[in-house]
Structure 1
């Protein structure tokens, strides 16, 4: 299955995604009821759902994604919402200088698609360089238990009428990694169903490993919470949230 086809299906598959909860989490971390005047770089922006919501909250947004097809849909979506943010096709591991931002976000477990430990470390360095002094990086990742117990060995399926899918998850080649094999059946104009295949690989790491990498790059005041709450992660947590501040020169 090509990225163009997957991008077209993405919003349907993500219809129940808790985008507003990501916005709420961000507001809590910034101690703001709105985001007016905040400059945000959303990395792994996909089809732009968070960009639209952030703009509605008054933020100035820039989006980055590796997929040109995703960005094309994001462009249309943002224009329909009457704004035209800068959208850039780049890898998060090696972002060019895009200016300085108050916040960089990497939500919806986008970081888990990085293939190696060095990719994660390079990404943290790349994101650090996009931030103003005392600005913050916000991101979430799958927990180790979510990968090992919530995905591996499980099969998920849904029939949504025009789109149906079977999603099977297998042990990946690395510790705490998973391969998602997705088979889609998409109804075409002739009312036949086309079969499409997609393979997604994700990898996560223990919380302390992420903390160590963030500190190595120069982040400080690292706050770690779980599952859109203010609670400390437990063995049963599924999504781990990190807030890390870029050190000021006088720190």
Structure 2
């Protein structure tokens, strides 16, 4: 499946994603920990721009980066339709370069889990650290090791609607705490026939303490570790882990 096709199906796949919860999380943590008058925000792995646009509507000066040119094309069209200004750039988060400092950087929707090695995660933390003002914040979420092993592994998810349907198989990956996602879409075409598209993704996570150590070794101060949008410490069965760190 061409990524151009997946870019246009992505919002359908993510229709129930908790964008409003991420939006409120960002505003709450900036108010709690951020620099005074924080406005410049970097959305890393912004995808089709759904969160970037909402934060821009809240008054932030948002820059979004993503690897996919097609995702960014969708994001730009959505931003223009929404009447907000968001600058979008095609960049790899491990090679972030060329921007003036930001007050805050966010990596949500488990985008960090697409990095496959410790070195890539550490490199991303370093590049973001270099692009933050002193006192600037980094916020991100990750899939927990529990979610990888007990929610995703060897599971199948499906949705059947008239215009678009999908089957989503999850298999344990080769690396520890990794999952391979096999997605098959059936999309109705103007002639009424259905076309099949296939997509393959690999995600990996690491234990919470490893992320904490990597943040500290980069120079960040870890301010907050919580889970599942409830502002409480992670438990053994938490599925989404949140970090807030300060330069």
Question: Structure 1-normalised TM-score?
Answer: 0.95
Give the match for residue 115 of structure 2.
Answer: 114
CA spacing shift, 1:139–1:222, aligned 2, 3 Å: same
Give the match for residue 209 of structure 2.
Answer: 208
CA apart distance, 1:36: 7.2
Q: Distance in 2 between matches of 1:162 and 1:29?
A: 39
Give the match for residue 17 of structure 2.
Answer: 17
- Kept in 1, the 8 Å contact 2:56–2:85? The answer is no
CA apart distance, 1:7: 0.2
Give the match for residue 157 of structure 1.
Answer: 158
Q: Distance in 2 between matches of 1:166 and 1:212?
A: 37
Q: Distance in 2 between matches of 1:229 and 1:245?
A: 21
Q: Distance in 2 between matches of 1:156 and 1:242?
A: 28
SS of the residue aligned with 1:6? helix
CA apart distance, 1:223: 1.2
Give the match for residue 178 of structure 1.
Answer: 179
Tell me the alpha carbon deviations over residues 14-42 of structure 1, each in whole angstroms, 9 at most, x when there is no partner: 1111101001111221226xx97511000
Question: Structure 2-normalised TM-score?
Answer: 0.96
List aligned pairs for 1:43-122, cutoff 5 A: 43-122=44-123
* Off by >2 Å, runs of 4+ in structure 1: none
- Kept in 1, the 8 Å contact 2:163–2:187? The answer is yes
CA apart distance, 1:83: 2.6
Q: Distance in 1 between matches of 2:28 and 2:244?
A: 11
Tell me the alpha carbon deviations over residues 144-178 of structure 1, each in whole angstroms, 9 at most, x when there is no partner: 00000000010010012211011010010100000
- Kept in 2, the 8 Å contact 1:225–1:240? The answer is yes
SS of the residue aligned with 2:22? helix
Q: Distance in 1 between matches of 2:38 and 2:137?
A: 15
- Kept in 2, the 8 Å contact 1:45–1:51? The answer is yes
SS of the residue aligned with 1:190? coil
SS of the residue aligned with 1:208? helix
Tell me the alpha carbon deviations over residues 61-116 of structure 1, each in whole angstroms, 9 at most, x when there is no partner: 00000000000011011111223322110000011131111100000000000111
- Kept in 1, the 8 Å contact 2:38–2:103? The answer is no
Q: Distance in 2 between matches of 1:42 and 1:132?
A: 15
Give structure 2 stretches of 5+ with no counterpart. none
List aligned pairs for 1:120-135, cutoff 5 A: 120-135=121-136
Q: Distance in 2 between matches of 1:177 and 1:224?
A: 21
SS of the residue aligned with 2:167? strand
